[in-house]
A = this chain, B = another copy of it.
Amino acid sequence: MTIRDETVPTPASPLRLAEVAARAGVSESTVSRVLRNIGPIAETTRAAVLKAAEELGYVPNRLAGALASTGSALVGVVVPSLDNIVFAEVLRGVTEKLEEAGLQAVIGVTGYDLAREERIVSALLAWRPRGIVIAGIDHTPRVRDLLAANGTAVVEMMDIDGSEPALGRRVGLSHGAAGAAMAAHLVARGHRRFGYVGHDISRDIRARKRLDGFAAELARRGGDLVARQMVPGPSSVSAGRAGLAALLAAQPDLDAVYFSNDDMAVGGYFHCEANGIRMPDDLAIAGFNGLDIGQELPRRLTTVRSPRYRIGQLAAEQILTRQDAAGPASPATIDVGFELIAGETA
């Protein structure tokens, strides 16, 4: 004797529109319309269909739907890294906004590797996504071609500096300006002899843009960038700590040190704390990103806040509001700006 548990809803599942249609006693097209809320449907029919779908536990096959309607409710998101919280926050902004609109993010992580970016963009495009959100504005020609060729909506985010023609809309901030703003602030605070501690800047293009902006502004205002210390590999607290130690070993007489980002700067902070270096009197410390952790340190970190979550949200919105029909186009580039946080370390 076999006992069947009637409460188990769906045994296995090649469950198709046809099954729901049969159970509701209508045609497939009607079920399709009810489920997508289009066209005029009699209330009784709608209820019957919804009931049948519910009882069966029907989950529509979006692959088929997207294929038939050429439009896939998928949005490709390309980020360089998930090593620190920065891109995770961007991702959160993107996914939240997309979820509201019933879209989903397919993600790709490049590891700041351009060859990988090519593979990833191509793989993402294979899903005929509604759009692609990609970090940065510096891409290989192949990536540019791919993105330009397909009719996909493209949003480049995080960065707006550069002469490359835009592939689509842009949402971000000027890293050059952020670097310059910090230089201006530090000089105004009386610092003159500067050091820089960075991570692999050949890959992290935005970090380089910040440094360039910083150095240029420093030159303009009479500051001196007398020493740089690059640490191989990605940014991290430990890299920042080790980097500052190395920098000071080579060049002890610095007023202030600019770090490639807050992770690095927090490392520098800890180095100072552990070695009795008082901030900002003995040494000023400044970073970039405005991470929470920096603002919870006993002495708040001087840094520049980037609205990462907001950038993610806006980027997703740009995909959603793509002007397919006529109408006032929203601006091609959205500069979200940044905020200099005058903390207690510089």
Residues of chain A touching chain B, judged by Cβ–Cβ distance below 8 Å, are 8-13, 57, 59-64, 66-67, 72, 74, 82-85, 87-89, 91-92, 95-96, 99, 102, 104-109, 120, 122-128, 145-146, 149-151, 236-238, 241, 266-267, 270, 273-274, 292-293, 295-298
Contact = CB atoms under 8 A, between A and B. Distances in A.
Contact of A106 (B88, B106, B295): B106
B128 A63 contact: yes
Contacts of A57: 145-146, 149
A83 B127 CA distance: 28
22 contacts: A9-B145, A9-B149, A13-B149, A57-B149, A59-B126, A59-B150, A61-B128, A62-B127, A63-B66, A67-B67, A74-B106, A82-B91, A82-B95, A84-B88, A95-B107, A95-B109, A102-B123, A104-B123, A105-B106, A238-B296, A266-B296, A273-B298
Given A61-B126, A67-B64, A106-B74, A151 B88 contact: no
Contact of A59 (B62, B92, B122, B236): B122
Contact of A126 (B9, B62, B296, B298): B62
- Copies of this protein chain in the complex: 2
Contacts of A74: 106, 127
Contact of A238 (B8, B107, B127, B292): B292
B149 A10 contact: yes
Contacts of A266: 293, 296
A231 to B, nearest CB: 14
B72 A82 contact: no
Nearest to A296: B237
Contacts of A89: 82
A275 to B, nearest CB: 9
A93 to B, nearest CB: 9
A89 B12 CA distance: 34
Contacts of A125: 59
Contacts of A236: 292
A195 to B, nearest CB: 20
Contacts of A88: 82-85, 87-88, 91
